[in-house]
Structure 1
Amino acid sequence: MAFMCATGKHRRPGKLKRSTVQAAGVAALATTGVIGTLAAPALAAENSVESTVEQTGLNPVIAIGDSIADKIDAQADAQKQAAEEAARKKAAAEAARKKAAAKAKAEREAKERAARAAERKRLNTFVAPIANSYVSTGYKASSSLWSSGSHTGIDFHAASGTSVHAVGSGTVVEAGWGGSYGNNIVIKMSDGTYTQYGHLSSIGVSVGQKVTPGQQIGLSGATGNVTGPHLHFEARTTPDYGSDIDPVAYLRSHGVNV
């Protein structure tokens, strides 16, 4: 059986056909006298390529010199190293930023804790109701001046108009006229006890108001049942008359030197 080669414009011409075309071309050039120095090398190159393809079955490729390949490799290595160095610097900068932020946060939290501790200490601190004064009449002193027959608090020496301070932190539960106590203030302290301040010439707080240690709450005077200006101070277990406790012992138990 004979096999026929397919024909068509996309089929590469066979060797015989190419050789025939080449021979025809050479004959034409010879007839016209145009075979010169360019034709011979061109024909030789064509024959050389054809011979190489026929012998090896491989198409010729362009080889890159070793020096160019080395330069490309070196450039790639340099770019890789630069990228790694940039990544290291970025990581180091991020670590430094996080460390600085953590340090700042720790310092801020330490300051906040110190401030809270200082505030707790201040609120738990007690002071004398009259600064730089002394007790002129003691607790349970006997006299017909008092309806109970004895003194239910202590008197601090004070001229009229002297600043009167809350002895500790608490909430005002009474502020106004108190009968024989004159103008008086009663404060429920943060520890659950009560303190009273009597015979005031003026009152500077109102019921429900929170006060802090040393805060001015009024001015001393001579209102109510008195023989002269002073501050009557009581410590109580309730806000009511008759629940009094030793005010000197009370103040001393809270660190006040009286």
Structure 2
Amino acid sequence: MAFGSRAAGKHRGSSRLSRKTAGYAGIAALATTGVVGSIAAPAFAADGKAPSMEDTGLNAVVVAEDLQGEIQAQADSQERAAEVAATKAQAEADAKQQAAEAKRVAEAKAKAERDAAERAAREEERKRLNTFVAPVEDSYVSTQWHAGGGMWSSGSHTGIDFHAASGTTVHAVGAGTVVESGNGGAYGNNVVIKHNDGTYTQYGHMSSLSVSVGQEVTAGQQIGLSGSTGNSSGPHLHFEARTGPQYGSDIDPVSYLRSHGVNV
């Protein structure tokens, strides 16, 4: 037998890495347990060599710590992702709420504008329907209502006469519908208008007419020119206010016009 060679199966001496690892393990054991000689020393004495990393279980500890670190890092990442998602969701919710509020405000404003426009239109229509003007501008009453005399078949004047030279513009005193336009016998060329309040006005002795039956007219609209047609002593406008379209339903024209805001 060759004494100079190592026998098979004999343990090799611990390597530098094994000894260093053993040192780390011993330090870890010392720090953990506080035991110096009673456990670690016999192991060295009995065998004469340092334990490997596998013997001490240090490798398992390192792996466990690495795994725990990875788990913690993953948990931190997930937490950050959740926070980002929550922030994004909150921002989207806030944006939707702001958009909804802006839409509500815009709709309320549009409705208010529509309501205001409708009120203005109704007021304008009310004014249009209730506005009255004099039949002849810058004129005066030359003959009063119910004045007596042989010129009138009824024995009295059924309207009032406005001073007007031939060809003077005659206006509808208020909005309404033309129910008569043409020759009216003693009235000559005449127009009768039914107004929105159910009353009627009549305009006689005109030289020409500019409206026809069924036509809608507004206050101040020209309906013809003054003249002296029919039973007339000279150019003027004969004006009547009536409760109906026919002769004989006349009412006080001055009071009628004044009740509608027209000073004569």
TM-score bracket relative to the smaller structure: 0.7 to 0.9
Return the offset for 1:100: 1.5
Return the offset for 1:161: 1.1
The alignment status of 1:93 with 2:99, answered yes or no, reads yes
Identify which of 167, 177, 194 aligns with 1:171. Answer: 177
The alignment status of 1:119 with 2:125, answered yes or no, reads yes
Identify which of 206, 214, 217 aligns with 1:211. Answer: 217
4+ aligned runs moved over 2 Å, structure 1: 62-65
Identify which of 139, 149, 157 aligns with 1:143. Answer: 149
Return the offset for 1:184: 0.3
User: 2-side partners of 1:67 and 1:243: how far apart?
Assistant: 104
Partner of 2:159: 153
Q: Deviations over 1:164-198 (max 9, x none)?
A: 11111221111000111110011112121211000
In the superposition, the TM-score normalised over structure 1's length comes to 0.73
In the superposition, the TM-score normalised over structure 2's length comes to 0.72
User: 1-side partners of 2:197 and 2:118: how far apart?
Assistant: 25
Return the offset for 1:101: 1.9
SS in 2 for 1:110: helix
User: 1-side partners of 2:209 and 2:77: how far apart?
Assistant: 94
Gaps of 5+ in 1: 1-51, 53-61
Partner of 2:193: 187
Partner of 2:20: none
Gaps of 5+ in 2: 1-59, 61-66
Return the offset for 1:71: 2.4
The alignment status of 1:75 with 2:81, answered yes or no, reads yes
Q: Deviations over 1:89-114 (max 9, x none)?
A: 12112211221121122122112211
Partner of 1:223: 229
Q: Rg larger in 1 or in 2? A: 2
Return the offset for 1:84: 1.3
Q: Deviations over 1:70-127 (max 9, x none)?
A: 1221122112211211221121122112211211221221122112112112211111
RMSD: 2.6
User: 1-side partners of 2:104 and 2:250: how far apart?
Assistant: 59
Q: Deviations over 1:32-76 (max 9, x none)?
A: xxxxxxxxxxxxxxxxxxxx9xxxxxxxxx653423321221122
- Bigger shift: 159-168 or 64-73? 64-73
SS in 2 for 1:168: coil
User: 1-side partners of 2:243 and 2:78: how far apart?
Assistant: 93
Partner of 2:241: 235
Task: Report the residue type matching 2:169 in the other structure.
Answer: S
Task: Report the residue type matching 1:161 in the other structure.
Answer: G
Task: Report the residue type matching 1:134 in the other structure.
Answer: Y
Matched residues, percent identical? Answer: 67
User: 1-side partners of 2:256 and 2:71: how far apart?
Assistant: 102
User: 2-side partners of 1:68 and 1:190: how far apart?
Assistant: 85
SS in 2 for 1:217: strand
Partner of 2:255: 249
Task: Report the residue type matching 1:181 in the other structure.
Answer: Y
Partner of 1:24: none
Return the offset for 1:245: 1.1
Partner of 1:109: 115
Return the offset for 1:129: 0.6
Return the offset for 1:212: 1.5
